[in-house]
Chain A
Amino acid sequence: MSPTDPPVPPSRGGGTPSPVLSVRGLRKSFGDVEVLRGIDLDVVPGEVVALIGASGSGKTTFLRSLNGLEVPTGGSVTPRDGRPIDFDRAVPKRELLRLRDQSAMVFQQFNLFPHLTVLQNVTEGPVRVQRRPAAEVREEALALLDRVGLRDRADAYPVELSGGQQQRVGIVRALALRPDLLLFDEPTSALDPELVGDVLSVMRQLAEEGWTMIVVTHELDFARRVASEVVFLDGGVVVERGRPDEVLTRPTHPRTQRFLRRLLDPLDD
């Protein structure tokens, strides 16, 4: 691979791949409120996990616990290096960096850096943090922007872009870090409906290329067509999980059934 090629996900390879992430009994409380009440999850390379659930179900908090934006209050998370981080005792800050550094995140509100150009938004992490050569990072960033149709906006500032364009920059910013794991926090929820498709199609491409992704989403159609596993959260626990056609088409748990019915037909009830 030449240095200017865009990053490619780690190959799925043969045999049983070691998980990118293993979560056991994860708990999180804010004061007296327990938001996560013991969640397990295993993610192997190339897998796309869709986290669905009503607002307040804990899905976003769960996602943010996987890169240290939230510090869980119990349970454990094992990153790719295989050494578990045990949240039942006090966890030093640098332990959390092992989680942060293997993943990258795409935010609901994009959270692009408004004072930097599109290109600078993408190169900031690889150059300033990962200390990779600026010229190489720049080429790679331009190639990635090209893939999402934004190469000609490289020198624009975020404020000059539409929401859909901003979110595609957000995705490119995450990819440029060459993470083992991509975390998406409701990436299309803040977009006008006609802009959602562009972002979802980029995400679908990534999934097809074998990127490992965890996606908090309300886009059931996306989950059905792209996810390898759908996890339904309610009240801080996993109520139902499985292949998309199972969970989304023939849910067995009444709470899943109710949630899906409401999502598909909001006026019904």
Chain B
Amino acid sequence: MQSSLDLFLRSFWPIASGALVGTIPLALASFAIGLVIALVVALMRLSEQRLLRGLARLYISVIRGTPLLVQLFIVFYGLPSIGVKIDPWPSAIIAFSLNVGGYAAEVIRASILSVPKGQWEAAHTVGMSRGLALRRIVLPQAARVSVPPLSNTFISLVKDTSLASVILVTELFRQARQIATVSSEFMLLYLEAALIYWLICLVLSAGQDALEKRLDRHVAH
């Protein structure tokens, strides 16, 4: 018992540091890039051009219809066989960004559609082009609506980064696995990894609440 507690405490920092250098930066970078992809894809989905709409639909369908682990393997283990070799970190970021892009695109599209038509019309009558109206009037309002579902996407992403351990990225779960293998204390180490994921997600949930409150300032209740 004494030695279990001791191992738990001694392994805490190595695993947490895996989160700090691996899990968290990986999640943040992938989410940021993924949101840019998502916005572009969402606007394509809302475009008047059939071709753009079709391409966006296809992209979303493929991303949502295939497992993330398989997407990760295609980028890291598959591409080298056709001559494209990418390091673990960039591979992980590419796969996770594309994945987030597919899921978040639908969230952003729905948020844009949730802004009342009268807002577009008012923007039009003050002389705004579609682009300016989107940027200045519609997206700020859509942002409020999209915070809860995008927070979900982000929290899922944080946990999904554990998959990067199989393509040799040093992150939270890979650290835990290594210590577990050496010490043979599998239950303890995996519970500890789960606990740290949970702590990270608790912080993120608190952040979501704060962000929602901030964005709620001008909304009637």
Contact = CB atoms under 8 A, between A and B. Distances in A.
Given A100-B125, A105-B125, A115-B218, A124 B136 contact: yes
A128 B218 contact: no
Contacts of B119: 111, 113
A157 B221 CA distance: 14
A163 to B, nearest CB: 12
B132 A115 contact: no
Given A107-B118, A113-B137, A125 B218 contact: no
A68 B128 CA distance: 13
Contact of B219 (A67, A69, A159): A159
A101 B121 CA distance: 13
B56 to A, nearest CB: 23
A111 B123 CA distance: 9
B168 to A, nearest CB: 45
Nearest to A101: B127
Interface string B9-20: 000000000000
Interface string A104-127: 110101011111000000001100
Contact of B132 (A69, A129, A174): A129
B125 A128 contact: no
B139 to A, nearest CB: 10
A114 B118 contact: no
B118 A111 contact: yes
Nearest to B129: A129
Nearest to A129: B127
Contacts of A113: 119, 122-123, 137
Interface residues of A, number: 26
A107 B119 CA distance: 11
Contacts of A130: 127
A69 B141 CA distance: 21
A159 B218 contact: yes
A173 interface: yes
A45 B130 CA distance: 30
B140 interface: yes
B128 A128 contact: yes
Interface string A54-77: 000000000000011100000000
A115 B140 contact: yes
B121 A128 contact: no
Interface centre among A67, A114, A130 (most CB of B within 10 A): A114
A114 B141 contact: yes
B124 interface: yes
A190 to B, nearest CB: 11
A49 interface: no
Nearest to A96: B124
Contacts of A69: 121, 124-125
Contacts of A103: 125
A129 B127 CA distance: 6
Contacts of B137: 113
B132 A128 contact: yes
A112 B122 contact: yes
B203 interface: no
A137 to B, nearest CB: 12
A68 B122 CA distance: 12
Nearest to B132: A128
B217 A157 contact: yes
B91 to A, nearest CB: 39
B147 to A, nearest CB: 13
B124 A100 contact: yes
Given A124-B136, A128-B132, A111 B124 contact: no
B206 interface: no
A158 interface: yes
Interface of B: 116, 118-119, 121-128, 132, 136-137, 140-141, 144, 217-220
Given A107-B122, A113-B122, 7 more contacts: A67-B124, A69-B121, A69-B125, A100-B124, A115-B141, A129-B126, A158-B218
Interface of A: 67-69, 100-101, 103-105, 107, 109, 111-115, 124-125, 128-130, 157-159, 173-174, 177
